């Protein structure tokens, strides 16, 4: 006679039937210092994220043990800021490494859904003028709407046959095109471009170019380095300055464009999952792109809340392939005319 074997559901024994949210970790039970050292952000910032993302993170589940939005956010912040799924971090909030991974996916998706809310160019005239004034105050460069550059983030190889993500150093990466304002707030972030594409090709294909060529270029211009072509809406430095005005233009250009280098250092310092010190992002290019964009959203939210880490020392060693390019001088006569007028009007 066969003896029936009962399969025990450990969750059922411990927590009973039905949808239940586990409060594994209480924010009020720990200090701000602990939260900042472990998860990268203070209590009030985390509470803000719970309010912002809570509805998206409380979706119905078939599991008997749903993880609370608060715990999911802590898990994701722990990964973003440390680059690790270390067991000790999961233990601190009472979840497994597998649950940590699911939490990162959930929070990343919720942040990406809100990217356009936090990463965008200003539209009203007063804010646009304020943007230009802030840039002018840095080094006297007029009409600047933002500074643009690319940054590489290392990812695991998608597969042996796909070489489109192999950059000039032979590493797999995503080449991310970003624009920031004078404070380091991101105004645009396209994080999905394959690492094999040089910066000028990324910009050529980017949504940013379409927008500036159809909407924004009459209001001012971006500043880009010599890896980009000169355009009517994108001012680049002169390859070989000869006159005093050209030297002054290049100096003002360099001092202003440096803002985005500082912004990249800030992002690497705060979000260690992107800096390469813990290895590459172990996700597909699409998921890696979403993680990068989620960190960009958090970067802007943190600046909005006064959490500026520009004064922090840069850490990590994100692999940055050195661009092997010749000077990208434009054959666009109109763009050359715009830059020459800028030289004559403001730097002569």
Count of C-beta atoms within a 10 Å radius of residue 149 = 23
How far, in Å, CA of 256 to CA of 250, rounded?
Answer: 10
Q: pTM for this one? A: 0.86
Please spell the DSSP secondary structure of 27-61, one letter per residue.
GGGS-HHHHHHHHSS-HHHHHHHHHHHHHHHT---
- pLDDT, residue 94, reads 75
- pLDDT, residue 159, reads 80
CB 76 within 8 A of CB 42: no
CB 338 within 8 A of CB 346: no
Which residue ranges of the chain lie beneath pLDDT 50? 1-23, 62, 64, 311-326
- pLDDT, residue 8, reads 35
18: left (phi over 0), alpha (psi -120 to 50) or beta: left
């Amino acid at each position: 006679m066969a003896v029936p074997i009962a399969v025990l559901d450990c969750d059922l024994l411990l927590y009973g039937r039905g949808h239940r949210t586990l409060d594994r970790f209480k924010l009020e039970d720990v200090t701000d210092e602990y939260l900042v050292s472990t998860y990268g952000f203070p209590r009030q910032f985390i509470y803000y994220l719970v309010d912002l993302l809570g509805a998206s993170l409380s979706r119905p589940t078939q599991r008997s043990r749903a993880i609370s939005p608060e715990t999911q956010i802590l898990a994701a912040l722990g990964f973003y800021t440390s680059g690790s799924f270390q067991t000790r971090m999961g233990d601190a909030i009472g979840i497994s490494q597998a649950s940590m991974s699911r939490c990162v996916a959930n929070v990343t998706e919720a942040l990406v859904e809100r990217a356009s809310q936090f990463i965008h160019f200003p539209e009203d005239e007063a804010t646009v003028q304020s943007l230009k004034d802030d840039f002018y105050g840095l080094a006297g460069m007029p009409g600047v709407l933002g500074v643009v550059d690319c940054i590489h983030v290392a990812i695991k190889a998608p597969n042996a046959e796909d070489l489109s993500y192999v950059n000039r150093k032979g590493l797999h990466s995503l080449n991310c095109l970003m624009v920031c304002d004078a404070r380091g707030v991101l105004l645009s972030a396209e994080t999905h471009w394959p690492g094999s594409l040089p910066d000028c090709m990324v910009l050529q294909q980017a949504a940013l170019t379409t927008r500036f060529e159809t909407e924004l270029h009459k209001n001012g211009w971006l500043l880009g380095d010599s890896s980009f072509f000169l355009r009517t809406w994108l001012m680049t430095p002169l390859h070989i300055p000869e006159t005093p005005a050209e030297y002054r233009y290049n100096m003002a250009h360099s001092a202003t464009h440096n803002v985005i280098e500082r912004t990249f250092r800030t992002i690497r310092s705060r979000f260690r999952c992107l800096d390469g010190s813990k290895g590459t992002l172990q996700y597909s290019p699409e998921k890696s792109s979403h993680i990068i964009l989620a960190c960009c959203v958090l970067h802007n939210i943190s600046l909005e809340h006064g959490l500026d880490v520009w004064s922090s020392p840069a850490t990590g060693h994100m692999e940055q392939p050195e661009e092997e390019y010749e000077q990208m001088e434009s054959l666009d006569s109109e763009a050359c005319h715009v830059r020459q007028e800028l030289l004559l009007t403001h730097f002569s």
